[in-house]
Amino acid sequence: MIFNIEYETMPREALESIQLRRLQATLSRVYAAVPFYRKQLDDAGVKPGDVRCLSDLSRLPFTTKQDLRDNYPFNMFAVPMDNVVRIHASSGTTGQPTVVGYTARDIDTWAELMARALSAGGATRGDIIHNAYGYGLFTGGLGVHYGAEKLGASVIPVSGGNTRRQVIIMKDFGPSILTATPSYSLHLAEAAEEMGVSFRDLNFRFGVFGAEPWSESMRREIEEKLHLKAVDIYGLSEVIGPGVSIECHEAQKGLHIFEDHFIPEIIDPETGQPLPWGETGELVITSITKEAFPVIRYRTRDITSLNPEPCICGRTMARMNKVSGRTDDMLIIRGVNVFPSQIESVLMEIKGVEPHYQLEVDRKDNLDILTVRVEISDAAFSDEVKELQRLSETIGNNIKETLGVSASVKLAEPKTIARSEGKAARVIDRRKL
Ligand code: DLL
C-alpha cells in the first residue's frame, strides 16, 4: 500500500518544483538562524537568493560530521529551544556524539515518513509491529514507534535486549511485522530455536531491517531463517533518523528516497564533485522541510548510487542502491579497498558458515594482516578435523579470488562471537588503536 499517493507517485517535474521552493525556504531560514551556515555561505560567496534552480545546490559548501561536533551540543539548531520538543543523539563511537533536535512539526514529518516507510515494507493498519530497535537516544525505536502509530498499526515497544522474553512475546502476541537491525534479527532467530520455537509457527509476514549494512546474501539468510520477506530501511540521525529511504516489498530493489523532504546527491568522496545518476560514490543529503535541525549538503559517508527509473510499485521517488559501506569503514589492506559487506557476501555463500563474523586487521612488519573469524554451524562443527581444514581453505580461497586479498581464517565454535542487540561491531582495526 502507498501511504501518501499524492507525494509518493508525483511526476518528477512537479516534485522538482516543490524541492526548489522548499530548498530556497530552508536556505533563507538557516542563513538567518544558524551562525555556522551564515558563515559557510558567506565564505562561499553565495546568498540564499542566488539559488535559482536545483543544480545551484552544487555551489553550496558541504556540512560534515566534524562541523556538527564543533557545534556540540545545540549550536546547529535553527529554532529557539522553546520550540524543540525532542532531542536524540548518535552514539559517537569516536569523539563527541552528534546531537539533533526536533520541533513538534518535525516529529509529525518523521512520523509521516515512517508511516510511508512501514507501508512500503508491507505493513498495514491491521498489523502488529514487534519493534526491537532500541528506544532511547538512538532514533530507531522511537522513529518506528511514531510511524507505526501514524499508520494505525499496533506497535509493541519491546526495544532491544531481553531476547528470551522477546521470543515469548512473538509467540504469544503474534506480531506480523518485525523491525530490528539485521544482526539482531538473526540473534532472535537463534534464541527462538534454542527455546524450541520455530519461526514457521510464528505470524511474521515482513521484516523492516536497517541501521547497519547488510548484504543480499544476508537478506536470503534472514528470509529463510525468519520466514518473512525482508526489506531494507535507511536513515541517519543527522538527517532525521530511520525513514530517509526504504525498499518496497514488491521490488526489494533499491530504497525509495523521500525526495519531497530530502535532496540526495552522489559525490566523488575524493574530489567532492557531483556524479551523474547511476555512478557510485558518497551520498550527500540536504533536508528541505526540517525546522529544528536542517542540514545542507550533509556528507553521510555512506556509499551508494542513485537510480531514477520507475519502479513496479508505482512510486516515482528515486531509489538508492543498498549501502555497500561507509567511506570510513573501508579497510585498505595492502592497498586493496575492502568493505566488510564484500567479505560478508563471500562468507554467506559457503555452506556450514553462520552469519556471525568479525574482521580483525593488524600490522606486522609493516604488512597488513586480515583475520576473518567466522562461526560455523553445529553440523560443520562435528565434522572431522580434515573437513574443517577444507572449509577454512575454501573461505580463504574464495575471499582471495573475489576480493584479491589474503586472509587468515579462524573458524569459531557455534555461538562464540558476541551477539549485538543493536548495530553489530564487525571490524576491529588494531592498526588504529
Ligand atoms: O541508524 C537510523 C536508523 C534506525 C536507520 C533504524 C534504519 C533503521 P544512526 O545511528 O545515526 O541512525 O546511524 C546512521 O547507520 O549513516 C549508515 O552508515 C548506517 N545505516 C543506517 N541504515 C542503513 C542501511 C540510524 N539500511 C548510519 N544500510 C548511516 C546500511 C545503514 N547502513
CATH number assigned to the domain comprising residue 43: 3.40.50.12780
C-alpha 234 – ligand 1 centre gap (Å): 5
Of 212, 214, 240, which is best to mutate to test ligand 1, by the most ligand atoms within 8 angstroms of its C-beta?
A: 212
Can the peptide bond before residue 73 be classed as cis, meaning omega within 30 degrees of 0? Answer: yes
Residue written as grid cell 547488510: 214
Of 139, 344, 421, which is best to mutate to test ligand 1, by the most ligand atoms within 8 angstroms of its C-beta?
A: 139
Tell me the C-alpha distance between 398 and 330, whole Å. 19
Angle at 175 between CA 174 and CA 179, to 5 degrees: 155
Please give the model's pTM, rounded to 2 decimal places: 0.94
Burial of 100: CB neighbours in 10 Å, binned 0-12, 13-18, 19+: buried
- Examine residue 421 and state whether it is found in any structural domain, yes or no: yes
Q: Which pLDDT score is estimated for 373?
A: 97
One-letter amino acid for residue 289 of the chain = T
Find all residues with CB under 8 Å of 347, minimum gap 6, and list them.
217, 353, 355, 357, 372, 374, 395
Strands 298-304 and 281-287: antiparallel
How many CB atoms lie under 10 A from the CB of residue 414? 16
Find all residues with CB under 8 Å of 389, minimum gap 6, and list them.
none
Q: Whose CA is nearest to atom 6 of ligand 1?
A: 140
Helix 216-226 × helix 340-348 angle, to 10°: 50
Of 99, 138, 179, 302, which is best to mutate to test ligand 1, by the most ligand atoms within 8 angstroms of its C-beta?
A: 302
C-alpha 323 – ligand 1 centre gap (Å): 10
Q: Which atom of ligand 1 is nearest to the CA of 300?
A: 16
C-alpha 40 – ligand 1 centre gap (Å): 27
Residues 72 and 164 grouped into a single domain:
yes
Q: Which atom of ligand 1 is nearest to the CA of 232?
A: 26
Angle at 158 between CA 157 and CA 161, to 5 degrees: 145
Find all residues with CB under 8 Å of 325, minimum gap 6, and list them.
213, 302, 303, 339, 340, 341
Residues 64 and 160 grouped into a single domain:
yes
Of 214, 222, 234, 329, which is best to mutate to test ligand 1, by the most ligand atoms within 8 angstroms of its C-beta?
A: 234
- Examine residue 343 and state whether it is found in any structural domain, yes or no: yes
Burial of 26: CB neighbours in 10 Å, binned 0-12, 13-18, 19+: buried
Maximum Cα–Cα distance for the chain, whole Å?
Answer: 72
Domain end call among 209, 230, 253: 253
- Examine residue 315 and state whether it is found in any structural domain, yes or no: no
> In this structure, what DSSP letter does residue 61 have?
P
Please tell me the total count of domains within the chain: 2
Q: Whose CA is nearest to atom 14 of ligand 1?
A: 236
C-alpha 252 – ligand 1 centre gap (Å): 18
The candidate with the shortest Cα–Cα distance to 245, out of 261, 230, 229, is 261
- Examine residue 121 and state whether it is found in any structural domain, yes or no: yes
Q: Whose CA is nearest to atom 29 of ligand 1?
A: 236
Domain end call among 196, 224, 253: 253
C-alpha 196 – ligand 1 centre gap (Å): 32
Instruction: Identify each DSSP E strand in 109-247 by its residue range.
Output: 128-131, 154-156, 177-180, 206-210, 229-236, 241-247
Residues 118 and 248 grouped into a single domain:
yes
374: its cell numbers: 567466522
pLDDT tens digits for the chain (433 residues)? 999 999 999 999 999 999 999 999 999 999 999 999 999 999 999 999 999 999 999 999 999 999 999 999 999 999 999 999 999 998 765 568 899 999 999 999 999 999 999 999 999 999 999 999 999 999 999 999 999 999 999 999 999 999 999 999 999 999 999 999 999 999 999 999 999 999 999 999 999 999 999 999 999 999 999 999 999 999 999 999 999 999 999 999 999 999 999 999 999 999 999 999 999 999 999 999 999 999 999 999 999 999 999 999 999 999 999 999 888 888 889 888 898 999 999 999 999 999 999 999 999 888 899 999 999 999 999 889 999 999 999 999 999 999 999 999 999 999 999 998 999 989 999 987 6
Residues 249 and 364 grouped into a single domain:
no
Residue written as grid cell 519531497: 260
Residues 336 and 247 grouped into a single domain:
no
Q: Domain containing 428 — which CATH number?
A: 3.30.300.30
Residues 341 and 243 grouped into a single domain:
no
Helices first, then strands: H and E counts in the chain: 12, 21
24: its cell numbers: 530556497
Structural domain that includes position 373: 331-432
Q: Whose CA is nearest to atom 16 of ligand 1?
A: 236
Q: Which pLDDT score is estimated for 433?
A: 64
Residues 30 and 166 grouped into a single domain:
yes
Residues 232 and 352 grouped into a single domain:
no
Residues 30 and 165 grouped into a single domain:
yes
- Examine residue 304 and state whether it is found in any structural domain, yes or no: no
Domain end call among 195, 222, 253: 253
Tell me the C-alpha distance between 325 and 304, whole Å. 8
- Examine residue 276 and state whether it is found in any structural domain, yes or no: no
C-alpha 27 – ligand 1 centre gap (Å): 26
- Examine residue 27 and state whether it is found in any structural domain, yes or no: yes
Find all residues with CB under 8 Å of 141, minimum gap 6, and list them.
131, 133, 134, 135, 157, 159, 160
C-alpha 91 – ligand 1 centre gap (Å): 12
Q: Which pLDDT score is estimated for 366?
A: 85
- What residues does ligand 1 touch, defined as CB less than 6 Å away? 90, 133, 138-140, 210-213, 232-237, 241-242, 300, 302, 323, 326
Cβ distance 86 to 136 under 8 Å?
A: no
Residues 168 and 66 grouped into a single domain:
yes
Q: Which atom of ligand 1 is nearest to the CA of 255?
A: 26
Cα distances from 319 to residues 16, 225, 284, 311, 380, in angstroms, run 15, 27, 14, 9, 39
- Examine residue 309 and state whether it is found in any structural domain, yes or no: no
